[in-house]
Amino acid sequence: MFNSAGYADQITDGILVASVRTDRHPALPKAAEPFCTRSQIVAYLTQKGKCIALVHQYLRVDGSLGASGRPDPKWLFVNDTVYQAMPPKKGSK
């Protein structure tokens, strides 16, 4: 849903605005990211300031995104419905 709607591309194109809500060092070694990578929660906002998505991302020093290389959606607001990512089941990868 997040990828097919092109939210990340809309950030790049300036249609949506990214607002960093939390910014910290990730838990090591769990994150397995290079030193000084930032673990961030980012809100995706419309030009009028309405939050339509929350994502997690690992922002590396060079500006690239770690892990999958794409933002990981945690929450979406679509047509008056809130969609929240489910945590993985224990023991699954």
pLDDT band at 93 (very low <50, low <70, confident <90, very high): low
92 or 79: which leads in pLDDT: 79
Which of 45, 60, 55, 41 shows the shortest CA–CA distance to 14? Answer: 45
Taking the C-alpha atoms of residue 79 and residue 76, their distance in angstroms, rounded to an integer, is: 10
Q: What is the pLDDT of residue 35?
A: 84
Q: What pTM, to 2 d.p., does this model score? A: 0.84
Q: Is the distance from CB of 39 to CB of 25 less than 8 angstroms?
A: yes
pLDDT over threshold 80, residue 31 = no
Q: What is the pLDDT of residue 91?
A: 64
Q: Give the H or E element holding residue 11.
A: helix 7-12
